[in-house]
Amino acid sequence: MNTSSITALPGITLRSPGAGLITLDPVRTALLRGLDDLLSGLAARLAAPEVVGPPLLSVEGLARLDFFRNFPHLGVSAGRFGPEALDGLASGGSPQDLPLHPTGHVLPSATCYGLLLSLEGEDVGEDGLRLSAAGRCFRNETHYDGLRRLWGFHMREVVYLGTKDGATEHQERGGEFVQEVAGRLGLDLTRAAADDPFYDNGGSRARLMALDPVKFEYSAPDGTAIASVNRHRNFFGERLGIRAGSHGPAYSSCVAFGMERWVHAMILAHGTAEQALERLRSAGT
């Protein structure tokens, strides 16, 4: 199953600039936007205010969250040309082989990191805090596959920080919402423990995850995971000094949607992008 890297528009083709990079055509764009509206319903239901996360994340912040220990291969770096390269570029030289200087920042690989890092040192109180955000996320992959596996994609998340029980409840309510929306859209999803792309699959965190799954994915019939619910125990609360009033370090959990993958799952279920859009419009009313 490989979505064409060239999407058709009447008389016009939208070419891909490279592997894992796609310009969505108007129908798929309408699907993406419509699905995002529908999935934003979780934030409304849970009274999670909508925010916009930062477009870049500091490597120092991510290192404190063990990001590079777990996923050193995924990070897409934000480099910049050094002063020594600028004259050559300005006079028409090729940028292809010029070295990039690190900026200390990478593009987000998930929407929640930027939100969590923004809350460092805060007290979210006894009742906890929810935030909702959508953003473009980027991951280096060994292969790309249509809308299923992109270099950059949209991820919507609803994050909770608060008590241990609150984090579990957030995960449960998120899971119920996913199945409810899937039912309205005619999607048949399977729930299973997540198989996260840890760099070291035999490592400590991956082994504990196998014994005690904290993340579950909802997958389309072809195995594409389109949503996940994930709890982090009090990891982020401890690492970032985020407290939940008298409960101490906050427990957290999040519900995440891979938007292009929802588009893919809709087309898979309904045959064509046009039919998928028709189904989405009837489900949204």
Partner 1 sequence: MERVVAWLNEKNPGLDGPIGVDEDLIEARLIDSMDFLEFIDLLEEISGDSIDLQEVTIDDFRTLARVEERFLASGDLAEAPAG
Closest CA to 71 of 108, 22, 115, 104: 108
Stretch touching partner 1 by CB under 8 A, among 26-34, 89-97, 199-207, 220-228 = 199-207
Interacting positions 145-164 with partner 1 (CB under 8 A): 164
Nearer to partner 1, 113 or 257 (CB): 113
Among 209, 250, 277, 280, indicate the residue that binds partner 1 (CB under 8 A).
209
> x/- binding map, residues 7-46, to partner 1, per CB under 8 A?
----------------------------------------
| Contact mark string toward partner 1, 44..73, x via CB under 8 A | ----------------------x--x----
Three-class SS of the chain = CCCCCCEEECCEEECCCECCECCCCHHHHHHHHHHHHHHCHHHHHCCCCECCCCCCEEHHHHHHCCHHHHCCCCCCEEEEECHHHHHHHHCCCCCCCCCEEEEEEECCCCHHHHHHHHCCCCECCCCCEEEEEEEEEECCCCCCECCCECCEEEEEEEEEEECHHHHHHHHHHHHHHHHHHHHHHCCCCEEEECCCCCCCCCCHHHHHHHHCCCEEEEECCCCCEEEEEEECCCHHHHHHCCECHHHCECEEEEEEEEHHHHHHHHHHHHCCHHHHHHHHHHHHC
Per rule CB under 8 A, is residue 172 in the interface with partner 1? no
* Binding status of residue 233 toward partner 1 by CB under 8 A: yes
Contact between 6 and partner 1 by CB under 8 A: the answer reads no
Under the binding rule (CB under 8 A), the answer on residue 238 touching partner 1 is yes
Using the rule CB under 8 A, give the single segment among 31-39, 142-150, 181-189, 200-208 that binds partner 1. Answer: 200-208
Footprint (CB under 8 A) of partner 1, residues 73-132:
none
The binder of partner 1 chosen from 210, 223, 271, 281 (CB under 8 A): 210
Q: How far apart are CA 62 and CA 72, in angstroms?
A: 11
| Choices 9-17, 22-30, 103-111, 210-218; region in contact with partner 1 by CB under 8 A | 210-218
207 in contact with partner 1 (CB under 8 A)? yes
Q: Which of 33, 64, 136, 205 binds partner 1 (CB under 8 A)?
A: 205
As measured in angstroms, the least distance from the Cβ of 249 to partner 1 is 9
Question: Where do contacts with partner 1 occur on this chain (CB under 8 A)?
Answer: 66, 69, 164, 203-205, 207-212, 233-235, 238
